[in-house]
C-alpha cells in the first residue's frame, strides 16, 4: 500500500516567538525553522509500516515556498521515498490547505494519509479532519496506536477521558498524537542519499483550484504577560498567603 504524509515547515518548537511590532504576525526572519513535530511522528509511523512490509511507498508532500524543500529533504533523509512540493508564496487557511491536499490525494491515490494532529504555529487542529470530509473518507484523529490488518486499520485515539479504539476500512486519514511513536534521527549517509531522491515541484496555480479567502487575519498581538510574584520561605507562609492574600483557600 501507498502512504501519503503531509508535512509542514514551522518555527522550531524551542524558539521563543516574538510578535512583529506592526502586529501583522510573528517574526520569521532569521529564525530557526523545523518540520512540525507532529508531522515528524506521522513520517516515522509511515516508515515503520514500510519497514514491516505493510507499506510499499511513502510520499511526503508539503505546500509552501522554495524554503519548504528543506522540510521535504528532511523527510527524505528520514526515509521517505519521494517528495512533492506544491509551490506558493501565499499562506492559506486550513480549509484551502485541505483542498490542495485533496488534489494531491486524487493524483497520488494513496491508501492512507498520515498527518500531524496540529501544526504548532497555528494550533488549529483542522486540516486532517477537513481533508477526510472533502474525500468522504473515515478519519482517526489524535492516534496513539495504529495497527494495519489487511484493508482495515485499528486506531487507538487519545480522548479527554482516556483512550478510544476505532476500526475502519482504508482509504482513511489518520492524524498523529505525540505518543504514537518516537521519531528517528536522520543519519549523515541518509542525509546525503536524500539529495538524490526525487523531489517534484508543482506550481499551485497549475492545479486549477479556485481558492477563495475564508479568513482575514486582522491582527496578531502579544498575550497579556504575567510577571513573577514572590518567593516564600516556608509552607506556613504559603498557606497564609493563599488564605489571606490570594483568598483562594477557605
Partner 1 sequence: MSTLVIVEHDNNSMNPVTRNLVTAALQIDKELVLLVCGHECQKVAEQAASIAGVHAVWLVDNVSLAHQMAENMSKLIVSLANSFKAVLAPASTFGKNILPRVAAKLDVAQVSDVIRIVDDCTFEHPIYAGNAIETVKLLDSIKIMTIRATAFDAVDNDQAPCCIERLDKTVEENPSRFIKHELSRSERPDLASAKIVVSGGRGLQSAEKFKLIEELADALGAAVGASRAAVDAGFVPNDYQVGQTGKVVAPTLYMAIGISGAVQHLAGMKDSKVIVAINKDEDAPIFQIADYGLVGDLFQIVPELTQKLRHSES
Q: Which three cell numbers stand for residue 230?
A: 514572590
In the window 194-213, what residues touch partner 1 (CB under 8 A)? 213
Tell me whether residue 188 or residue 246 sits nearer to partner 1 (CB atom): 246
Can you tell me which of 22, 29, 30, 162 binds partner 1, judged by CB under 8 A? Answer: 162
Can you tell me which of 69, 154, 184, 211 binds partner 1, judged by CB under 8 A? Answer: 154
Closest to 114 in 3D by CA, of 71, 57, 73 = 57
Q: Which three cell numbers stand for residue 165?
A: 479504539
Can you tell me which of 158, 184, 186, 193 binds partner 1, judged by CB under 8 A? Answer: 158
Query: What count of other Cβ atoms lies within 10 Å of the Cβ of residue 119?
Result: 22
In the window 2-41, what residues touch partner 1 (CB under 8 A)? 11, 13, 16-17, 19, 26
Which residue in this structure is represented by grid cell 496555480?
Answer: 205
C-beta separation of 90 from 60 below 8 A: no
In the window 168-197, what residues touch partner 1 (CB under 8 A)? 168-169, 177-179
Can you tell me which of 28, 125, 145, 190 binds partner 1, judged by CB under 8 A? Answer: 125
Can you tell me which of 12, 66, 106, 164 binds partner 1, judged by CB under 8 A? Answer: 164
Considering the rule CB under 8 A, would residue 123 count as an interface residue with partner 1? yes
**Contacts for 99 with CB less than 8 Å, ≥ 6 apart:** 134, 209, 211
Closest to 40 in 3D by CA, of 81, 1, 77, 88 = 77
Minimum Å gap between C-beta 91 and partner 1 is 12
Minimum Å gap between C-beta 158 and partner 1 is 6
Minimum Å gap between C-beta 199 and partner 1 is 28
**Contacts for 220 with CB less than 8 Å, ≥ 6 apart:** 19, 20, 23, 24, 25, 26
In the window 98-117, what residues touch partner 1 (CB under 8 A)? 98
In the window 54-93, what residues touch partner 1 (CB under 8 A)? 93
Tell me whether residue 73 or residue 99 sits nearer to partner 1 (CB atom): 99
Tell me whether residue 43 or residue 85 sits nearer to partner 1 (CB atom): 43
Q: Is 148 helix (H, G, I), strand (E, B) or coil?
A: strand
Considering the rule CB under 8 A, would residue 148 count as an interface residue with partner 1? no
Considering the rule CB under 8 A, would residue 163 count as an interface residue with partner 1? yes
Tell me the Cα Rg of the chain: 21
C-beta separation of 139 from 173 below 8 A: yes
Minimum Å gap between C-beta 212 and partner 1 is 8
Q: Is 159 helix (H, G, I), strand (E, B) or coil?
A: strand
Amino acid at each position: 500500500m501507498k502512504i501519503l504524509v503531509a508535512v509542514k515547515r514551522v518555527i522550531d518548537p524551542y524558539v521563543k516567538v516574538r510578535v512583529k511590532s506592526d502586529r501583522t504576525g510573528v517574526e520569521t526572519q532569521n529564525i530557526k525553522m523545523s518540520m512540525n513535530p507532529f508531522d515528524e511522528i506521522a513520517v516515522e509511523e509511515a516508515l515503520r509500516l514500510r519497514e514491516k512490509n505493510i507499506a510499499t511507498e511513502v510520499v511526503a508532500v508539503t505546500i509552501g515556498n522554495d524554503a519548504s524543500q528543506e522540510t521535504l529533504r528532511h523527510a527524505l533523509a528520514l526515509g521517505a521515498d519521494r517528495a512533492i512540493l506544491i509551490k506558493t508564496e501565499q499562506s492559506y487557511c486550513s480549509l484551502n490547505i485541505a483542498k490542495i491536499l485533496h488534489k494531491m490525494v486524487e493524483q497520488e491515490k494513496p491508501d492512507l494519509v498520515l498527518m500531524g494532529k496540529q501544526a504548532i504555529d497555528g494550533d488549529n487542529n483542522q486540516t486532517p479532519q477537513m481533508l477526510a470530509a472533502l474525500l468522504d473518507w473515515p478519519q482517526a484523529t489524535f492516534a496513539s496506536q495504529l495497527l494495519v490488518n489487511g484493508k482495515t486499520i485499528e486506531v487507538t485515539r487519545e480522548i479527554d477521558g482516556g483512550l478510544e479504539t476505532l476500526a475502519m476500512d482504508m482509504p482513511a486519514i489518520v492524524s498523529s498524537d505525540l505518543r504514537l511513536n518516537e521519531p528517528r534521527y536522520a543519519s549523515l549517509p541518509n542525509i546525503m542519499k536524500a539529495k538524490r531522491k526525487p523531489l517534484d515541484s508543482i506550481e499551485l496555480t497549475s492545479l486549477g483550484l479556485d481558492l477563495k479567502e475564508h479568513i482575514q487575519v486582522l491582527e496578531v498581538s502579544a498575550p497579556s504577560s504575567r510577571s513573577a510574584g514572590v518567593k516564600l520561605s516556608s509552607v506556613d507562609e504559603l498557606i497564609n498567603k493563599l488564605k489571606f492574600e490570594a483568598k483562594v483557600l477557605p
